[in-house]
Structure 1
Amino acid sequence: MRNPEKKTETRIVLTHDGSSSAYNSEFNQHYHSVFGALQESQRVYIELGLYEAFKRFEHISVFEMGFGTGLNALLTLLEAEKSQRAVTYTAVETQPLSLEEASQLNFDALLGSHHLNLVHEAPWNRPVAITPFFQVLKHEGRLEDFRTENRFNLIYFDAFAPEAQPELWTQAVFEQLAAMLHPGGLLTTYCSKSSVKRNLRAAGFLVEKHRGPAHKRDVLRAVKLA
């Protein structure tokens, strides 16, 4: 069950493109790029991840490491609605934002949508259909403890930076994620450090380097080898 007690201090902040993010005091980390939460998520997870998955697969099942503000989920929902492609969305988060914090995020206002609160209000640990084309299943807990028989087409890897959470950027974790993907499945992430690329390759991924969002030269898309 979700623990209603506050785990750490989190505050909502504004990034340079006018979109919200959150700051976690325990890890001294922002949930999104301070140069623009919306443009970072759009580039890394939607353009490089979801659009490519739409081309490769008929049925789309997404796994997100780090549900955070729900921005990646919201953008995915909107794309599912626009394309009328059914998406099932599973996420793992250790420290969910409170509903009060989530209500301060401005993504719906910027995107002209009304789904963000519905995504955050969805109960934890059971699937909820937000729209006819988008179902979400949020798990509260650590990635290392997460177990599933499901297989995914696409993984959004949005953990805090390796300096803050080194245990999540290891070969062992990427092997765990590879086992959760269908052959040819995709993993996208904002971090392009050499150690991350090396661990992805060792875990059985073909690693591609792509142009990043503003103020970020490179980001990664990794493809699970057959």
Structure 2
Amino acid sequence: MKVSTRLVLTADGSHSIYSEETRQHYHSIHGAWQESRRVFIELGLQEAFGRFSDEPIRSFEMGFGTGLNALLTAQEAEQRQRYVHHTAIEAYPVPLDEAHQLNFDQLLGTNYLHQLHEADWNQIVQIHPFFSLIKVHGMLQEFQTVDRFHLIYFDAFAPEAQPELWTETVFRQMADILLPGGMLTTYCSKGYVQRNLKAVGFHVEKHSGPAYKREVIRAVKPA
């Protein structure tokens, strides 16, 4: 499926992409970088490094998208010299010519955004000594794995665009692939999203969000 998209510049100087089909931006227009950093790195990966201090981290991402979350994860892993194996699922990949226009490497001082986007699908690719990636091309609801993860970045489009991905059924699927004590972080704090997370056993924490976002969510699977 060809997805109609266009590049946009967000308020913190980082790029995002606008999807004509969903009428949604891939990131906050108030700052793509700062949103991803707050929701997925500070509340997710950094917390996982602390909770699971003696083992490599296995992270799972719903929506590879622009590659920003994976890039920030690779950067954090390299800086801390903690190994992360990152799995990301994406049904509609960003075209490479558009991905190559994204300014994340320039902004963050990294040099592997192109590697992330050019990595073969459905294969483990070593990006640097502390970070490996497997991109899964497919739908979340059809995803099956024997792996168990310490951390999930739940970065689907907003519920009004993809209501099928914010249900009890999907959150139960996410809980099933998490290790005890594992976490799911997401930018969406709508009441029914919190209720659906709680219904499948998550302990829901509310945390301050990035710019113009009062609350974001970290949901913890009981140990």
Q: Normalising TM by the smaller chain, what interval? A: over 0.9
Query: How many residues are treated as equivalent by the alignment?
Result: 221
**Equivalent residue number for residue 166 of structure 1:** 163
Name the CA distance, whole Å, in 2 between partners of 1:56 and 1:122. Answer: 30
Aligned to 1:3: none
Deviation at 1:28, TM superposition (A): 0.5
Question: How far apart in 1 are the matches of 2:56 and 2:113?
Answer: 23
Q: 2:80 aligns with which of 80, 83, 92?
A: 83
Determine the C-alpha separation between the residues in 2 that align with 1:200 and 1:123: 33
Q: How does 1:20-99 map to 2 (within 5 A)?
A: 20-57=15-52, 58-99=55-96
Q: Which of 118, 141, 144 is equivalent to 2:141?
A: 144
User: Counterpart in 2 of 1:200?
Assistant: 197
Tell me, what secondary structure is at the counterpart of 1:196? helix
- Percent identity, aligned pairs only, is 65
Q: What secondary structure, in the 3-state scheme, does the structure 2 residue paired with 1:90 have?
A: strand
| Inter-partner Cα distance in structure 2 for 1:222 and 1:59 | 21
Residues in 1 aligned to 2:18 and 2:51: alpha-carbon distance in whole angstroms:
35
Distance 1:116 1:194 in 2: 35
Instruction: Tell me the distance in 2 between the aligned counterparts of 1:97 and 1:165.
Output: 18
Note the C-alpha offset of 1:27.
0.5
1:77-104: per-residue Cα shift (whole Å, max 9, x none)?
0000000000000000111011101011
Query: 1:224 aligns to what?
Result: 221
Question: Once the 2 structures are TM-superposed, how far is the Cα of residue 11 of structure 1 from its aligned partner?
Answer: 1.0
Superposition TM-score, scaled by structure 1 size: 0.97
Return the offset for 1:105. 0.3
1:9 match: 4
Match of 1:112 among 105, 109, 114: 109
**Which of 126, 129, 132 is matched with 1:129 structurally?**
126
Give the deviation of 1:114 after TM superposition.
0.5
Instruction: Quote the Cα distance in structure 2 between the aligned partners of 1:129 and 1:204.
Output: 34
| Deviation per residue, 1:47-101 (Å, 9 max, x gap) | 0000000001122000000000000000000000000000000000111011101
Candidates 205, 208, 219, aligned match of 1:211? 208
Per the alignment, residue 18 of structure 1 pairs with: 13
Opposite residue 3 of structure 2, the aligned amino acid is: T
- In structure 2, give the amino acid aligned to 1:38: W
Q: CA RMSD in A?
A: 0.7
Q: Distance in 2 between matches of 1:208 and 1:67?
A: 24
Match of 1:101 among 98, 102, 126: 98
What CA distance in whole angstroms lies between the structure 1 residues aligned with 2:112 and 2:3?
Answer: 26
